[in-house]
Amino acid sequence: MEKYEVLEQLQPGALGTMLVAELKTEMDAEKKYIIKQVECIEEKQANEALKEARDLLKLHHSNICVYKELFVTWDNEISSLFLCLVMEHSGQGDLSAAIKEKRHKSEKITDMVIMSFLGQMVDALFYIHTQNIFHRNLKPSNILVTGEASFMLSDFGTETLMTDEMKWKIRVEESCKSWMAPETFGFSFTEKSDIWSLGCILLDMMSCSVLNEEETMYFLQDIRQDTNRLEMIVIPLQAEYTSSAPLFPILFMMLQIEPSMRPTAKDLTDDPFIRECLTVAGASSVKLKKSLLPKIIDVFLEARIEEVLEFMQAFWDIEEVQVKAIQLFASSVRDKSAWTYLLKFTELTTFAMKTHVDSPKLQADGCSLLLEILSQAPEQDAVMALIENVATSLLDTVRKHSENEELLSLLCTLLMMISASEVAAENLRKAGIITDLLSILSGFPHNAKICFSCCGVLWSLAVGENNTDHALLKSAVPVISAVLQEHLQNGPVTESACSALWALSLQGCLTENEYESTTALLLDVLRMNLERPVLVKNTCLALASLLRLSEIPALRFITDSKGSGIKLMKDAYHLHINDPDVVENICMLINEMVQYEDVVLDMLSQKTEELLSEIKRRFPSSTEIITLVDAMLLKLQK
């Protein structure tokens, strides 16, 4: 704070104090800043809020207030810690004051201003939401009026501070909550919460000549309980705004109590009336495709990497710029001199993929680059952390391009790599990826690459601790069995599919009717791929988990029409006799067999004791193997 001179203190907000200030060293005396000071209860809260707010520094949009810097400071006078957010000061009023003035005169805000406002706000929300940034505190006093029909979002809220329950109870008056979505009272903020708030602001603006301020506040609070109350105000508003009739059905969608029923900012851009508003506003929405002359793009892309990165950020909404920049990154990513930029490459590429989800070319190039980065990055954990945050947006791409086999192949490979992270796997599970994976496997059973990747993702999801998709995972069993039958002689695919089946059997997803057929299928897989150690391990684990459940698979194991499973285990042992991991898994499978008397008789007749004794002699230093073998020999001798 030392470098700023405070000029005046504005009316305190619900969660902080607003100061008008200027830099003590600023040559331009007209340059003013707004400093929002938010008191924090402890250093940890301040640091978490500061970390979250850093994303605001990246925002560059004509309808979003520019954030200059963020810092934490200690006020000795009151012994308190403050998070300070420094914004450029427009020097003009906010929308709340403009609405109050119109309401005082009982004047309507014109249709053109409403359309321009809506276009600018949808465009700004689309921009921040594609970066996974939410406003969280959208209301008229946080929208600056910078011209007759020009508006700017300001005063964003961070999750840490917006979910401070004690502060909300003590400091926030009910009137300040009028624009808040129903779910935010339980401190759940999403992009749909911003959409609700925007709908409330539109009602506030359009009712200037119909309702007074108190009536408007009560009305906005009432619709949180019953959206049908909207019908009471629509009739008089329709008489006021005859040329904006298409807006009213949109308002009803924006103000649905259930968040899942509301449109996203991206959904809104598909509406013809909203597109008209975007045009009036001169917006940079993805639906209003912009372009640059190819020669200009080529000149910029011949510059240094730092300048290319800046160019990519400045023209985030131009698809051709993003595609060519991603292709340039791909050509240089293997060069060690580019490794210092890998995190930035990842950040800008994932943002481009979220913004231009309709472009199959950009999605394919983006996936290829991310896969290359993950294989090259020296800071792989940091890169993975960035990609984890966009895992669910990759799922949006999967759904958008569900018939594009080539793109799906790349996407599924990337999803498999990402799902190795527990955080990403959980995010994908919550987003409903299992249904998408099964649909892809059913649609492209012949594509080995897709089958390999999808089974890998299913394995990650099935072994997760927070697994609540039991019914969905059960439906995966016949789909994975079909993949195994299709690719019996393809080692990598069968390895991945057997891993998935093992995880599903551990979760109890196989029905009794599937035990025998699945056992027979796994034995076929082993016969076809006995030389592959990973497959032998995975198949033994899958068979062991099945035998643990029932005697049915155990009996099928020893009586299979194509040959006894015991002989197959002996063959696998002799083929991988020097691999203790494979031998241990074989022992785990045999250990499950000896619990059934009928199977033990067959094992004795096939001299399994001799095999176990040989294993014991060969691996005397392996505690795990010796423990298993001793237990099995004891059971066989009894």
Same domain, yes or no, for 253 and 109?
A: yes
Q: Is residue 451 part of a domain?
A: no
The enclosing domain of 34 has a CATH number of 3.30.200.20
For residue 567, the domain's CATH number is 1.25.10.10
| Most confident of the following: 59-63, 167-171, 598-602 | 59-63
Q: Is residue 395 part of a domain?
A: no
In a domain, 402, yes or no: no
Is pTM, for the whole model, over 0.75?
no
User: For residue range 241-289, what is the model confidence (pLDDT) as tens digits?
Assistant: 888 889 999 999 999 999 999 999 999 988 889 988 988 887 765 445 5
Same domain, 75 and 204: no
Q: Are residues 81 and 122 part of one domain?
A: no
159: phi then psi, degrees, rounded to nearest 5: -60, -45
Domain that holds residue 277: 95-281
What's the whole-number mean pLDDT along residues 496-500? 93
Q: What is the pLDDT of residue 286?
A: 45
| 3-class SS of residue 285 | coil
184 and 43 co-located in one domain? no
Query: What confidence score (pLDDT) does residue 366 get?
Result: 93
Mean pLDDT of the chain: 86
For residue 507, name the pLDDT band (cuts at 50, 70, 90).
Answer: confident
Mind listing the pLDDT tens digit for each residue in 208-240? 988 999 999 999 999 999 988 888 888 888 888
- Name the residue with higher pLDDT: 606 or 352: 352
Please indicate, yes or no, whether residues 147 and 262 belong to a single structural domain of this protein: yes
Same domain (yes/no): 146, 249 = yes
In a domain, 36, yes or no: yes
State the pairing for strand pair 33-40/67-75.
unpaired
Query: What share of the chain has pLDDT > 90, as a percent?
Result: 39
In a domain, 268, yes or no: yes
436 by Cβ neighbours in 10 Å (0-12 / 13-18 / 19+) ranks as buried
- Assign residue 167 the CATH number of its domain: 1.10.510.10
Q: Is the pLDDT of residue 118 over 60?
A: yes
72 beta partners: 83
Task: Mark which of 43, 60, 88 sits at the end of a domain.
Answer: 88
Are both 54 and 131 inside the same structural domain? no
Residues 483-491, mean pLDDT to the nearest whole number: 94
Residue 118 lies in a domain: yes
Look at residue 4 and give its three-state secondary structure: strand
375 assigned to some structural domain:
no
- The reply to whether 218 and 69 lie within a common domain is no
- Pick the last residue of a domain from 218, 249, 281: 281
pLDDT tens digits, one per residue of 534-591: 999 999 999 999 998 889 988 998 888 888 888 999 999 999 999 999 999 999 999 9
| Same domain for 207 and 132 | yes
State whether 123 and 258 are in the same domain.
yes
Burial class (CB in 10 A: 0-12, 13-18, 19+), 48: middle
The pLDDT of residue 604 is 83
Query: Measured between alpha carbons, how far is 399 from 397 in angstroms, rounded to an integer?
Result: 5
Together in a domain, 130 and 274: yes
Report the pLDDT value the prediction gives residue 301, as an integer from 0 to 100.
Answer: 77
In a domain, 149, yes or no: yes
pLDDT of 389 over the 70 cut: no
> What Rg, from alpha-carbon coordinates, does the chain have?
31
Domain termination site, one of 88, 103, 128: 88
Task: Work out the number of other CB atoms within 10 angstroms of the CB of residue 508.
Answer: 12
Strands 17-23 and 4-9: antiparallel
Whether residue 122 has pLDDT greater than 50: yes
Kindly state whether residues 83 and 100 are assigned to the same domain: no
**Tally of structural domains, the chain:** 3
